[in-house]
Amino acid sequence: MKNAAIHTTAGRAYGTMRQTNLRHVKKEGAAMPGSGKKSLYWICAAFLLNGILHVLCYQVDFVSGISQTYCCVVLVIWGLSIQKRVTDRRLRRLLLSATVCLILHLALQTMRYEMVKYFLWLDRHLWYAFYLPLTALPVLYFFIALGVHRPQDVPFPRWAWLIPAVGLLLALGVLTNDRHFFFYSFGEIMIDDAEARREWLYYTISAFQYILYAVSLLIMLKKSRACRGQKYRWLPLLPLAAGIAYSLLYPMKIGFLLIGHRIWNMGEFLVFCLVGAMECCIQTGLFPANTDYEQLFTRMDLPVAIVDGQDHVKYLSGDGAYPFPENESTHVMRRQISGGSVIWAVDVSRLHTLNQTLQETSRKLEARNDYLTEEARIKAEKTEAATRNALYDRITRITKPQINAITELLEQPALSFDDKMRPITVMSTYIKRRSNMELLTRQDLLPLDELDMAVKETVDCLRLCGVSAAASSAVAGEMPAGLVKAAYAQIESVIEACFDTLSGLMISLKSEQDTLNVRMMLMAEALTLPDVSAPLAAQGFTQKLSVAKSGQDVILLFTYTAGGESA
């Protein structure tokens, strides 16, 4: 937990370090950093130098295409700076792709006007090829506008991918113009473009490009409301306005009227317009960039340092001293960056206090849990003991007549030991088997096998007492517990009633669905029939007694039926 909390705090500190610059600049107003102004000045100077080179080297052997080469070098340098400065990976890739398209456009221009101008077919198809990068550029800038302020894990909307598909179809239409002439139509000879006439595909592509540039600009201007310096949010309009003005003045050939040729070619002007607009977006904060560390580190209240590969300090925040001291309350964090590392110190004293509080709370919770566990165990033991005692009291109450009879027999000195033990054995067996029935009762049901075993054990005890006894059974399944217990109690009551004169006994058990039949054939001199009309404690069944005589034998048939009331 401690290490996770430290890394979480470190991550927040690193995020605070990267956001501090923008926060302070917003508070101070619309001031552009000095390094941002320098970048824009350099682009303007490069633009002017390109015009000078174009004028000086115009139609000069071996150097007439130097202005395009110069623009390619500027684009390469600017692309390398984009690779280092822009921190948003998706925006960086899109900007680099746009740079490659600009370089490709310049390369195609150089090939057409300087290398293959005498090969008419190839010259014309290189001219068609111009529209590959020219169509791709507005699409890329549209995706750049969509990618501003969009989290990198959030993909572009699906409908946006229709735009590059449309652009690809239009570009293919241009490349295949010689088959249909929907883009440009020519005279009979098709020599250069002297007799070329614009067709509907040309205007469609132009509308596609200008609409995409306009929509991209509107999206960026809308998103620039959250950037620093509201008066600088309109800065990207300046190079684009210059490009529009140049496009409008291009057919007037003002350069030819002044100095005999153009100062900038259309491709070169396009390069500086788009590069200038994107650089303005970077400098106004619309594109995230890792620049202006001097201001960032001057205003930062966190101890942070950036060091190179040899651990030499390049930037140090505030009045801190490097290396930062590390102890129990301060941890020094390091993260690798391009060319070195960023190092910052994190105050974890509050984390230590929080960990101690959590540990103390954890100990209290453990003690409380132990107490509750012990309390629950004691309650469970008490409940179990109460249930057990209630069961023992019930068994004692049910078997109380037999227990009292055994006590009376033991207190009669006139009877011999054998005379006492014979009835005591039978009653003890009943007490044991009847107690088992109470213990085995589950959900008010009792297996008939338990009654079978109880009857057989009683019969075995009668044999030991000298009674000719036997038992048979055809029972299976379960019946209401009250019914089974009542049947066994009736058997016991009959045996106890005639025990002194009982010489023979046959017990037969039979079950059919919800009915249990108990047949008893007795041979005894005196027999007192049980009172089946007396209500039983158990409910949910009926009982019926039938009596028959066969010589000296008495046959008792007890019929128990589940359901109904006792009768």
Q: What is the pLDDT along the chain (567 residues), one digit of tens a residue?
A: 444 443 444 444 444 444 433 333 333 334 455 555 777 778 777 777 776 776 666 665 555 567 778 888 888 888 888 888 888 889 999 999 999 998 898 888 888 777 776 677 787 888 888 889 989 999 999 999 999 888 888 899 999 999 999 999 999 998 998 888 888 887 665 555 556 788 899 899 989 988 998 899 888 888 877 665 566 777 788 887 777 777 777 766 665 556 655 666 777 778 888 888 888 888 887 888 777 666 667 777 778 888 888 888 877 876 667 777 788 778 888 888 777 888 888 888 888 888 889 999 999 999 999 999 999 999 999 988 888 888 888 888 888 888 888 888 888 888 888 888 888 888 898 888 888 888 888 778 888 898 899 999 999 998 888 889 999 999 888 888 888 888 888 888 888 888 888 888 899 999 988 899 999 988 887 676 666 554 444 467 888 888 888 767 888 889 888 875 543
In angstroms, what CA-CA distances link 445 with 208, 285, 430? Answer: 87, 83, 20
Angle at 79 between CA 265 and CA 243, to 5 degrees: 30
Which residue intervals of the chain bear CATH 1.20.1070?
A: 34-291
pLDDT score, position 368: 92
φ, ψ of residue 497 to 5 degrees: the values are -65, -30
Q: Give me the CATH code for the 34-291 domain, please.
A: 1.20.1070
State the fold for domain 432-562.
Answer: Heat Shock Protein 90 (3.30.565)
| pTM reported for the whole predicted model | 0.53
Residue 407, exposed/middle/buried by CB under 10 A (0-12, 13-18, 19+)? exposed
pLDDT score, position 259: 60
Helix (H, G, I), strand (E, B) or coil at 471: strand
In angstroms, what CA-CA distances link 561 with 64, 450, 475, 543, 558? Answer: 121, 18, 14, 6, 10
Which residue intervals of the chain bear CATH 3.30.565.10?
A: 432-562
Query: What does the block give as tokens for 141?
Result: 């800038």
Contacts of 272 (CB under 8 A, 6+ apart): 43, 46, 47, 50, 71, 239
Nearest to 436, CA basis, from 471, 399, 401 = 399
Tell me the angle at which helices 131-147 and 266-283 cross, rounded to the nearest 10 degrees: 10
Q: Where are the alpha helices (DSSP H) in 300-399?
A: 349-398
pLDDT score, position 366: 92
